[in-house]
């Protein structure tokens, strides 16, 4: 099936309310910075609207779309996998417009943080008429197709509150879920996010009935404490500890350790990439099927923790 690119873009923009949303606070800082650091004119590689909003159509290829792919990050591994199968007119929809490497608890690796798309990959994308669309903060806060909303849905939960002000909404959701022990919730998280390694800290409960969820980076102790005051007995996120090398990363790591020692919540981290990829395979895939009769093809990271 061939679909007009502009039709898909307009529908995605409407879904995430991009025409009314403010420029993406995080990506308007990090994207220019990482490209400046490697001497690349970032404005020359993104669409004019994207240069203002830092969300939406990032790279325009052929005017008609044959196949839609989806991923959390446009990492080197994801783009290589996409380029291996992509045909002219294919579209890649990602949550982030650039990669981010936050380290791994598996071997206590510390990493560099945000990473630009490689110039050779950008050249291949352009030469082959491929398109890229990214939506960051509006996907984090969406209750219809959202990173936190998808987690609540996977846990069969009902949203009862919101926390973590972000963009034009809230990145964190508090939800009531069917009673489950802390250990069973950890096992369920492994199944939902298809991860082998899970970070677990804090308290242990025989019956968790209220959980706070936030995709991606969840290491802000003020928001963790707020979620606990809202009655959450467990806190499920991507990164409990962001292992970004430097003083800032070390301070944040220590702050979460101190919070974990006193909190009454079970703290669960499933990796940044896995926590925000879930919405791609579930709610976004369903939206494409229902609204455009398109089967979205997800591309998973070969290593969730990195």
Is 276 annotated as contributing to ligand binding?
Answer: yes
In this structure, the strands spanning 199-202 and 266-269 are antiparallel
List CB contacts of 90: < 8 A, sequence separation 6 or more: 61, 65, 66, 67, 68, 69, 82, 130, 131
**Secondary structure (3-state) at 97:** coil
- Alpha helical stretches, state H, 117-271: 119-127, 137-141, 147-154, 182-193, 221-229, 247-260
Alpha carbon 87 to chain centroid, angstroms = 25
Ramachandran bin of 17, using left for φ above 0, alpha for ψ from -120 to 50, beta for the remaining angles: left
CB atoms under 10 Å from CB of 122, counted, come to 18
Q: Is 96 annotated as a binding residue?
A: yes
For residue 188, how many other CB atoms are within 10 A of its CB?
Answer: 16
Phi, psi values for residue 183, rounded to 5°: -65, -40
Check whether 112 is labelled as a binding-site residue.
Answer: no
The annotation status of 95 as a binding-site residue, yes or no, is yes
Q: Please report, to the nearest 10 degrees, the dihedral formed by the alpha carbons of residues 186, 106, 284, 14 taken in order.
A: 110
How far, in Å, CA of 256 to CA of 245, rounded?
A: 16
Residue of 292, 295, 268, 293 whose CA lies nearest to 281? 295
Find all residues with CB under 8 Å of 29, minimum gap 6, and list them: none
Cα separation values, 278 from 69, 194, 213, 222, Å: 14, 10, 13, 25
Cβ count within 10 A of residue 243: 20
- Is 303 marked as a binding-site residue? no
Which tokens go with 3? Answer: 């679909």
Q: Which residues are annotated as a binding site for a divalent metal cation?
A: 95-96, 140, 272, 276
Q: Which residues are annotated as a binding site?
A: 95-96, 140, 272, 276
């Amino acid at each position: 099936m061939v679909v007009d690119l502009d039709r898909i873009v307009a529908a995605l923009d409407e879904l995430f309310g991009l025409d009314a949303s403010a420029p993406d606070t995080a990506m308007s800082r990090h994207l220019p910075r990482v490209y400046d650091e490697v001497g690349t004119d970032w404005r020359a590689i993104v669409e004019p609207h994207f240069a203002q909003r830092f969300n939406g159509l990032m790279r325009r290829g052929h005017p008609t779309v044959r196949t839609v792919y989806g991923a959390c990050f446009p990492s080197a591994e994801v783009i290589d996998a996409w380029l291996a199968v992509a045909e002219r007119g294919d579209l890649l929809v990602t949550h982030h417009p650039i990669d981010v490497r936050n380290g791994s608890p598996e071997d206590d690796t510390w990493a560099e943080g945000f990473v630009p798309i490689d110039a050779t990959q950008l050249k291949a994308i352009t030469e082959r008429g491929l398109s890229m669309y990214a939506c960051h903060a509006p996907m984090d806060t969406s209750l219809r197709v959202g990173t936190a909303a998808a987690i609540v849905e996977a846990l069969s939960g009902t949203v009862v509150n919101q926390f973590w002000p972000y963009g034009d909404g809230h990145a964190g959701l508090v939800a009531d879920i069917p009673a489950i022990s802390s250990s069973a919730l950890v096992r369920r998280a492994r199944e939902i996010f298809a991860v082998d390694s899970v970070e677990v800290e804090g308290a242990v409960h025989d019956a968790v009935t209220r959980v706070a969820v936030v995709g991606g980076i969840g290491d802000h102790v003020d928001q963790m404490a707020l979620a606990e005051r809202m009655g959450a007995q467990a806190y499920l996120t991507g990164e409990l500890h962001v292992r970004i090398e430097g003083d800032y990363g070390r301070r944040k790591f220590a702050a979460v350790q101190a919070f974990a020692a006193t909190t009454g919540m079970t703290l669960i981290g499933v990796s940044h990439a896995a926590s925000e990829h879930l919405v791609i395979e579930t709610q976004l895939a369903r939206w494409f099927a229902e609204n455009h009769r398109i089967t979205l093809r997800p591309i998973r990271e070969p290593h969730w923790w990195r």
